[in-house]
Amino acid sequence: MKIACQTITFGNERHKTDMAGIIKSVAAAGYGGMETGFFRLDVNEAGNYRKLQDEYNVKQAAIHIGGDFNDAESVKKQLENIPALIKTAQTLGCENIFLSGSPANAAAGYETICENINALGKRLKEDGLALSYHNHDWEIKNNYFGLYSLCGGTDPEYLSFVPDIGWIKRGGGEPVPVLEYLGGRVSNLHFKEFTADGKFTELGGGIVNFKEVYDFVKTRDFWIVAEQDASYIGAEQSAAKNFGYIKSLMQ
């Protein structure tokens, strides 16, 4: 099992001005990998990012993309970004693309979404990249309607899943049954924590039973990504606490 940090914890401004500092901080916290939003990466600096990652022994575990795949303009924008996304991923030695989408309220909407995601996954696979879907709470609500629609409507050859454990809980679901349902299509995991009143917090400080989840997946060889959308104690401190918590589950 490998541990990565979703660098969203460091905020938008840090990504614009201090990617070197983020990479150093991720390494100092103990992580072996990092996940970064594509829109936060300067594609012209990818070579420099790679040099820093190699220096600090941090892999680019995944690049995150997002969009409304039920909207023609959003899909068009994603397609236009594909060449730059592929080039950046290859420069960074990254094989995983994590995708998050927008909610749809009807089966017809998910049919369109699945069709577009299949096409994206197929295109990325041609260049050696694996696409995985990252859920929020809306895919979990209404008895997992969105999740079931995505799983049933997409081709396992072109789409896997990187379940977000915190959002599953926030959406009213239970993580282990979701992992059982997705089975072999689970490629990696996101560990996100919420307080009882719905605020982001460090892993182990909220309502999610991560021990139960880890015990269920501990024989798998994939990335567990700590993803804390906002820190109230400082990004470095939150990142370090999150790494320490996941490490404690492994002992």
**CATH assignment at residue 137:** 3.20.20.150
Q: Is the pLDDT of residue 197 over 90?
A: yes
The residue segments making up the domain with residue 158 are 2-249
In this structure, the number of other CB atoms found within 10 A of the CB of residue 75 comes to 20
The torsion angles phi and psi of 180, rounded to 5 degrees, stand at -65, -45
Q: Which residue has the higher pLDDT, 61 or 79?
A: 61
Our measurement of the distance from residue 235's CA atom to the centroid of its chain's CA atoms, rounded to an integer in Å, reads: 18
Q: Is the pLDDT of residue 248 over 70?
A: yes
pTM greater than 0.85: yes
Task: Tell me the percentage of the chain whose pLDDT exceeds 70.
Answer: 99
For residue 54, the model assigns a pLDDT of 98
Q: Is the pLDDT of residue 16 over 80?
A: yes
Angle formed at CA 83 by CA 82 and CA 88, multiple of 5 degrees:
95
Q: Are the C-beta atoms of 63 and 97 separated by less than 8 Å?
A: yes
Q: Please list the residues that pair with 100 across neighbouring strands.
A: 66
Q: CA 138 to CA 94: how far, in whole Å? A: 28
- Over range 22-33, report the average pLDDT: 98
Q: What is the pLDDT of residues 63-109, one digit of tens each?
A: 999 989 988 898 898 889 999 999 999 999 999 999 999 887 666 78
Q: Rg for the chain (alpha carbons), in Å?
A: 17
Q: What is the pLDDT of residues 111-141, one digit of tens each?
A: 999 999 999 999 999 999 999 999 999 999 9
Average pLDDT, the chain: 96
Query: What total of structural domains would you count in the chain?
Result: 1
For residue 135, the model assigns a pLDDT of 97
For residue 83, the model assigns a pLDDT of 96
- Over range 42-54, report the average pLDDT: 97
Q: What is the pLDDT of residues 152-193, one digit of tens each?
A: 999 999 999 999 999 999 999 999 999 999 999 999 999 999
Which pLDDT band holds residue 5 (cuts at 50, 70, 90)?
A: very high
For residue 105, the model assigns a pLDDT of 66
